[in-house]
Structure 1
Amino acid sequence: MPTQTSNAAFADPAAPRSSKPAHVIKSDAEAIATAQHLASRFAADAARRDRDRSLPHEELDAASNAGLWAMTVPEAYGGAQVSYVTVGRVFAILAAADPSIAQIQQNHNSAVFWLWKTGTEQQRAFFLGEILRGARFGNANVDVGGRRPAGSAMTIAADDGGFRLSGRKIYSTGALFADYVSTIGQDAQGRRVVAIVPTGHPGMKIVDDWESFGQKTTASGTVIFDNVWVPALNVLPIYRSYEEWPQNAISQISHVGIDAGIARGAIDATVAFIRQRDADSAQSTAALGADPYVIYQLGELKTRLHAAEAMMDRAGHAIDGCLAAPSEDTIAEASIAVAEAKALTTEIAIEASNKLFELAGTRSTHPSFNLDRYWRNARVHTLHDAARWKYAAVGNFYLNGERPPTSGQT
């Protein structure tokens, strides 16, 4: 049984982080500028990281040390509390450079929101303070065998003044790079709760067994919890976030940004390849840049991308409006706006990454360019919350006035 001394190792406000505190971003404009600066750095080696499955430890340190992982921390706790328009744009900027790096941060943003809206004052002060200093949260939310209606088959049970849990989780994006791993389970009443477990705690094992052909460096592997005990400070009643706030929309706006970024990256890569191909080609080879059908289709791709990005911004505004005046109606409106944006960004990510080869030609398929990473990343990432669910929810909302569910797929 843990002693009181061992409890303090989990969340002791007096215990400083071992690393130098991160920079604190102060505004939306600074968050965007920081993302752009980091993206230019991350893009330079993205193809090699994907090819070699070289995990982005240094890149993630750069992002969290620059304050980007704390951009949504509320102003009351020292953060910038950027708008969700900015959140979508930041994820899109990062994903255009390296979508694995963007996805690794996605669940962390949900943890910030859970802490803000469902944490006690003590929990908010400690954990949000940790995040401001540079701490990263990873997730271990999906049970082996898939999600359950209540969110998890794993029980997080009260025990000895804290909570105890055991279970096996998959698709644990970010856990391998995290300071804290959040894992969803259910309490004695079957409600969705989350336990926050510090990395390295006995009983938690993180396994790097992610083997997908896309998003290869997210390390979205397995986390095993074997009779893990955490103090009460480390458990949040996140069911409240789904009941009272637009949690689904908060979680999914990051996915919207990632898909938009993949699409932009693929289109930019197509343009760059065609220009370089034309510059390198002999005069006898027809210039793709003069092909009217190539020009037409690139124009079409750009237009659809801009439409999807505009819908992403619209969804961000809907979330911001809901946070300012939460109600069943504004939660539904935010969820539907994000669903519409997600459907469009899914489609343009797949289309743009596929059209890259059709427009750039056979040479673009050579493995030295590794341009297929755009399609592989798009195909894998867009499987999060299939677009068919989005269109069905949108249609049901506008035709029948049916609000989307507050948990599960929208």
Structure 2
Amino acid sequence: MARILVIDDDGHALRLIEFALTKAGYEVITASRGEEGLQKAFRQPPDLAIIDLMMPQMDGYEVCRRLRQNERTADTPIMVFTARIQEIDRQTALEAGADEFLTKTATPDELVSKVKSLLAREVSVPRAEARPGQVIALFSLRGGVGVSSLAINLAMALARQPNQKVALLDLCFLSSSVPLMLNVRPKLSLAELSREETTVSLDSLEKYMVAHSSGVKVLPVVLSLVRAAPIPAKTVEHVLAVLKSGFNYIIVDTLSSLDDMTLAALIRSDQIILVVVPEVASIQAATVTLQAFRSLGISEEAIVPTVNHTFAKGGLSLGTIQSALKRPIKAVIPYEPEVLIQAINSGAPLVLSHPSSAMATAIQKLASVLSPS
């Protein structure tokens, strides 16, 4: 007998759905709030979840995302059952991780038929073989161009995609601003790991990570900037290899230096976001960086030149930047200082706190470009 979790804040609708499914022979578990439903799902994963969209505190879209982010429910079939009928609602639900979208104009028989179809589809479709995680490093030889902020928001954007586990590796031991910008308080860091662990497994590594509310796992480089030192390159290599076995994406926030630690991460990255701002010094630094990458054998296809606008007016044109770098710019992040400062001061990444802003939209688009088809 299949177990079906139904999450809906409308008590009348909840009873009708429960009655129809119980009559059809299913075991039904109900929840009237998103958080309650998640707790029940994580404690004992259902065979299928039916979720309403319009719920207080946590809407159905967010419930879908969190089910997909948790390893116990990442593969659970999800049906959104809602009074909303617009195409944008259907599209957003599917992007959040839903497998099926059904409006509440459907009859009980139609609901049961969809449930049977979705459960049968789940049995018949084999799971794809797991692929190693993708390492995406963000780098600029010139500091102060917004690399850490972009790394954080890119991690959040990727984590919002269905079925994605995302790690954020902080290698900026001279500033280590990631925990501060995310408002998390780590108790351990990569520095302790490099001193304490001779061999590293995924289980042991996760002890040094701190979970953000978005589902992103953060591995800070140090706890204190006092006498902070680079992490041995071998440790970085080993940690990246282990993270690739347990996460879909590993976002690396790098130091503005081509030291051994940073090079260890860059050489082992599947993609490198080369961040520039539209001014001469930044473009000169990027040109030097590209020369260094060529000498290191880093593939040109792996490099994603990205312009991050950090001032309002007077910057170099996109055409000038592309001519100087001799390659196309893959992404442009617009200038929105008020939104960015609010996000940093609140410890809430703008992709989450201001998802409709121009900056967040551009970062979401970049995340889509980086995601393999």
TM-score interval (norm. to shorter) = under 0.3
- Pick the structure with greater CA Rg: 2
- More contact order relative to length (CA 8 Å, sep ≥ 6): 1
Question: Hey, which of these two has a bigger chunk of helix by percent?
Answer: 1
Question: Hey, which of these two has a bigger chunk of strand by percent?
Answer: 2
TM-score (norm 2): 0.24
